[in-house]
Structure 1
Amino acid sequence: MANGFKINKQAIRKMSREIEREFAKNPVRVPLEADHRAVSLPAATTVNNYNGPVVTVNGDHAQLAWDNQSVTQVQAHIEQVAPGYEQLAQLLTDILASLSTFPLDETDGSELRENANLVLQEVVKSEPDQGIVRRGVTLIKGLLAPISAGLGKAATEETAEAARQVIDALGASLPF
């Protein structure tokens, strides 16, 4: 620095430590008053509850009942199926309801469920994309084909016949 003046950094660090110790012994308390009218906080997106069980429910129209004697839950969520796709929507709903009757492994079962739901989401649009519907139905038929041929480990003649009927009905239910 000019004229031989140097800053003693070691002395500054020592002085800072002594000031910190002094404030630790005698903390400074400053009362604050906030004007809550000027503050607008965003809505909380995450709630952490550390004093009890935590249940996280995701999804549209989710319902939850816990520790009740009798519960009645009703949802009035109705979607209109596009004209011409009613039979397909009914068939996919029936397949999803009776999915456990088909001897599918966990991966194939979840794949079938995902594709059936994808097609169902598409057929409630005012103008469904025929490509998405066709691909979903083809994949579902492909997942059921080994069962209809009796190739699965647990495939019985009844499940094979049911799979054949479902595959035929899927092909017949496409409006295009």
Structure 2
Amino acid sequence: MTADRSEGAGDGSRSAVFPAAHTVIYEGPAIGGDSVRSQFVWGSKGPVVQTQNPERISLGLEAIAGTVAHTLEGLPAIGLTEEDRRNAEEAGAEVLGEAAQNEPDRSRIQRALSVLKGVLAPAATGLAAGSAEGTQEWARTAIEQLSVPFS
């Protein structure tokens, strides 16, 4: 305790005065401080097993892999047919799979990107049924980003 919270016995000596102890009981998880990259399990009835197998993206393919991942996340919102969506997802998965190889086949990546851009083209031009203005802009931007040369 600091000196201003001390009491003396009248003889110049000082002793600290501590507040009464209290107990806090939380009915759930209590998080104090930074919890970035933390994971919590609450109410689990058995063991919790988590594995992570992060894919290492080959040098020079990080940007295109990120663009493909972002594009795949947005596919459900643009109203593709089931077949077009499946083709786009397969092409995107091929790009990401190749990008994670030690020696990726860049021609396979380029072919898969062409398929992905081809699936997005009708939405970008407004030819796809129900293409809203926001959808057209999103698809055009995706095609532009998927067209950026990679090393």
Name the TM-score class by shorter chain: 0.5 to 0.7
TM-superposed deviation, 1:75:
3.0
Secondary structure at the counterpart of residue 151 of structure 1:
coil
Question: Pairwise CA RMSD of aligned residues?
Answer: 1.9
Q: TM-score, normalised by structure 2?
A: 0.66
Q: Aligned letter for 1:145? A: A
Q: Aligned letter for 1:98? A: G
**Distance in 1 (alpha carbons) for counterparts of 2:132 and 2:47:** 39
Aligned-pair identity (%): 29
Equivalenced residue count is 108
Secondary structure at the counterpart of residue 101 of structure 2:
coil
TM-superposed deviation, 1:168:
0.2
Moved more, 122-131 or 158-167: 122-131
Identify the match of residue 142 of structure 1 among 118, 121, 124.
118
Q: TM-score, normalised by structure 1?
A: 0.57
**Distance in 1 (alpha carbons) for counterparts of 2:115 and 2:126:** 18
Which residues of structure 1 form unaligned runs of 5+?
Answer: 1-67
Q: Give CA-to-partner distance per residue, 1:4-54, whole Å, 9 cap, x none.
A: xxxxxxxxxxxxxxxxxxxxxxxxxxxxxxxxxxxxxxxxxxxxxxxxxxx
Which residues of structure 2 form unaligned runs of 5+?
Answer: 1-43
Runs of 4+ in 1 over 4 A off after TM superposition: 68-73
TM-superposed deviation, 1:92:
1.1
Alignment pair present for 1:83 and 2:59: yes
Change over 3 Å in CA distance of 1:130–1:79 after alignment to 2: same
